[in-house]
Amino acid sequence: MRVTIKPSSMVKPAEPTWSGRLALSELDQTGMTTHVPTIYFYTQPSDDWNTVLQTLITSLTTTLVHFYPLAGRLSSIAGGRLELDCNSAGVQLTEAYADIKLVDLDDLLESPMINKLIPSVDYRQTPLEDTPLLLLQVTRFCCGSWSLGFCISHVVVDGQSALHFLSEWARVCRGGLVASPPYLDRKILRAGESPITTCSSIHQYGQFIPPPILIGQSSNKNERRKKTTVAMMKLTETLVTKLRNKANQSRKNEGGHCFTRYEAVTAHTWRTACMIRNHESEQPTAIGICIDVRSKMKPPLPEKYFGNAIIDVIATGTSGEIVSKSLGYVSSKIKEAIEKVNDEYVSSMIDFLKNQEDLSKFQDLQWIRDDGGPFYGNPNLGVISWLTLPMHGVDFGWGKELFTGPGTGDAVDGDFLILRGEEASGSLVVASCLQVRHMEDFKRVFYQSIED
Compute the distance between CA of residue 128 and CA of residue 121 in angstroms, rounded to an integer: 10
Whether the model clears a pTM of 0.75, i.e. scores above it, the answer is: yes
Q: Please give the pLDDT value at position 368.
A: 40
Give the H/E segment covering residue 320: helix 319-324
Considering only CA atoms, give the Rg of the chain.
22
**300: which strand partners?**
none
Highest mean pLDDT among 29-33, 107-111, 194-198: 194-198
Q: Please give the pLDDT value at position 366.
A: 43
pLDDT in tens, 99-116: 999 988 876 656 667 889
Q: Please give the pLDDT value at position 69.
A: 98
Among the options 35, 154, 268, 438, which is catalytic?
154
pLDDT surpasses 80 at 424: no
Higher pLDDT, 408 or 378: 378
Burial class from Cβ neighbours inside 10 Å (0-12, 13-18, 19+) for residue 257 reads exposed
Residue 432 is which amino acid? S
**9: which strand partners?**
93
pLDDT in tens, 329-349: 999 999 999 999 999 999 999
- Closest CA relative to residue 70, chosen from 49, 81, 94, 86: 86
Q: Given this chain, do its domains 3-189 and 212-451 carry the same CATH topology?
A: yes
Q: Kindly indicate the confidence band of residue 434, based on its pLDDT and cuts at 50, 70 and 90.
A: very high
Q: Please give the pLDDT value at position 107.
A: 67
pLDDT in tens, 380-409: 999 999 999 999 999 999 999 999 988 866
Q: Where are the domains of the chain?
A: 3-189, 212-451
Strands (E), 251-399: 284-292, 310-318, 381-385
Dihedral angle computed from the Cα positions of residues 86, 71, 293 and 378, in that order, rounded to the nearest 10 degrees: -120
Q: Please give the pLDDT value at position 137.
A: 98
Mean pLDDT of 420-425: 76
Mean pLDDT of 430-451: 96
- 395 is annotated as an active-site residue: yes
CA 351 to chain centre: 24
pLDDT surpasses 50 at 124: yes
For residue 327, give the DSSP letter.
H
- Closest CA relative to residue 433, chosen from 187, 232, 153: 232
Q: Give, rounded to a whole angstrom, the gap between the first and last alpha carbons of the chain.
A: 42
pLDDT surpasses 50 at 50: yes
What percent of the chain lies above the pLDDT cut of 70? Answer: 92
CATH superfamily, domain 3-189, is: Chloramphenicol acetyltransferase-like domain (3.30.559.10)
Which residues have CB under 8 Å from 199's CB, separation 6+? none
3-state secondary structure labels for all residues of 145-197: CEEEEEEEECCCCCHHHHHHHHHHHHHHHCCCCCCCCCECCHHHHCCCCCCCC
- Closest CA relative to residue 432, chosen from 409, 411, 447: 411
Which residues have CB under 8 Å from 159's CB, separation 6+? 36, 310, 386, 389
- 85 is annotated as an active-site residue: no
What percent of the chain lies above the pLDDT cut of 90? Answer: 75
Q: Please give the pLDDT value at position 111.
A: 66
For residue 365, give the DSSP letter.
-
Residue 358 is which amino acid? D
Higher pLDDT, 52 or 360: 52
Mean pLDDT of 128-138: 96
Among the options 85, 104, 364, 395, which is catalytic?
395
Q: Please give the pLDDT value at position 115.
A: 85
Task: Specify whether the CB–CB gap between 136 and 166 falls below 8 A.
Answer: no
Arch. (CATH architecture) of 212-451: 2-Layer Sandwich (3.30)
Q: Is 382 helix (H, G, I), strand (E, B) or coil?
A: strand
Average confidence score pLDDT of the chain:
91
Mean pLDDT of 79-102: 95
Compute the distance between CA of residue 121 and CA of residue 257 in angstroms, rounded to an integer: 44
Strands 381-385 and 284-292 turn out to be: parallel
Dihedral angle computed from the Cα positions of residues 154, 67, 72 and 162, in that order, rounded to the nearest 10 degrees: 10
The CA distances from residue 28 to 33, 34, 322, in Å, are 8, 11, 32
Q: Kindly indicate the confidence band of residue 227, based on its pLDDT and cuts at 50, 70 and 90.
A: very high
Q: Please give the pLDDT value at position 360.
A: 78
Residue 360 is which amino acid? S
